[in-house]
Amino acid sequence: MNRIVARADQALQAHDLCDHCLGRLFAHVDTGMTNAERGRNMRIAVSLERSARSEELPAHEECWVCEEIFDDLERFANACIAELSKIEYRTFLVGTKVSPDIQDREERLWAEVGGDDAEPIKAELNREIGKLIEALTQKEVEFKNPDAVTLVDTRFGHVEMTITPLFIYGRYNKFSREIPQTKWPCRVCRGKGCERCHGLGKMYSTSVQEILGDIALEMAEGTDHFFHGMGREDIDAKMLGTGRPFILEISNPKKRSIDLNILEAKANESENASYSDLRFSNKDEVRKIKSAAPDKTYSAVVSFHDKVNKGLVDEVLQSLNQVCITQQTPVRVSHRRADLARKRHIREIHLVDFSEDGMVLEITAESGTYIKEFVSGDGGRTVPSISEKLGTDCKVTALDVIQILDNIHEV
């Protein structure tokens, strides 16, 4: 007797199995058919073998493993469709929960007749329910990045739906020195609203995130928004040039096909920030954005404590071109960052304007360089510094990021 047929015969001698559960034992033996089709073929083959031995195969009544759960596939599919109909989606994925008793019996069957070629019952349920939903809705199953995932509890027919966040890539410019990149909860009330924050629950009235995010949230009918920037500038620094790349994340969006041209136009009515290059994105690109560390070019307006000779300035700036500096965590951020010494490279420094009382510099530096401290020295925590080299205290009175040197407008 064929080895596969012998195993099927052994399984059917021990237990009454439906075609799905019988066929699933041999799911990885061949392809091109469903488990139910495979099970029917196995049942016929076993019946023929038994007939040759003058034996009969008993009629199937109720499956010992699944208790005929596959009779409810259409009911499960319709329950999923009812949940999915509450949102706009193009792709979906199905997951299932099954009774622990069913899983235990399946594993017992594998132990008795071998399970090396078998497929778990949940895998088949997921696939077969998904196929029914595809046929009924003309939507597509997507394994990597579905718009929504439905989880069917097959014990009760209950469905839970998880909506994949909506991700929007773009670049922003910030023109205000009084707003942060992201929403900043009030330090006193932690977002509840208090006298310090005038009941707003946040330190600043708005942010780059909120100007765009609040509009996108309303358009997508989501529940919250999150902002993933390629780094961030200080609150009192402008972000100029071609802008800083970011991805806006909208959680639980009921609508996905929002008009990004309308979103961009509405957000750009703000005087504090502008947005460009908006397009739909995904979670993988969020990781790329967050891990990117491009060089940046800054414009720094610097004041001198004492009058300084231009010849000395030229000499100092030349000595600091392409230099490696050591920066201890600045005093101004030491309350929220570990006190570490970091090596950073100054790529280029150019003198844009000069007077005896101050100057304007254009500085290109490695990502993570503290420009204000490179100028001031931060009490000796940055070495070397412009203040140290010039022999007088220097202070950045205005700082702008004028270019993120990521070289591309899309990550």
Catalytic option among 72, 214, 234, 277: 234
Q: How far apart are CA 281 and CA 397, in angstroms?
A: 37
Active site residue 234: yes
Which amino acid belongs to residue 341?
A
Please give, one letter per residue, the 3-state secondary structure of the chain: CCHHHHHHHHHHHHCCCCHHHHHHCCCCCCCCCCHHHHHHHHHHHHHHHHHHCCCCCCCCCCCCCCCCHHHHHHHHHHHHHHHHCCCCCCEEEEEEECCHHHHHHHHHHHHHHCCCCCCCHHHHHHHHHHHHHHHHHCCEECCCCCCEEEEEECCCCEEEEEECCEEEEEEEEECCCCCCCCCCECCCCCCCCCCCCCCCCECCCCCHHHHHHHHHHHHHCCCEEEEEECCCCCCCEEEEEEEEEEEEEEECCCCCCCCHHHHHHHHCCCCCEEEEEEEECCHHHHHHHHHCCCCEEEEEEEEECCCCCHHHHHHHHHHHCCCEEEEECCHHHCCCCCCCEEEEEEEEEEEEEEECCEEEEEEEECCCCCHHHHHHCHHHCEECCHHHHHCCCEEEEEEEEEEECCCCCCC
253: closest CA among 263, 267, 264?
263
Q: Distance between the two ends of the chain, CA-based, in angstroms?
A: 60
Task: For the beta carbon of residue 13, count every other beta carbon within 10 angstroms.
Answer: 13
- Active-site residue set: 234
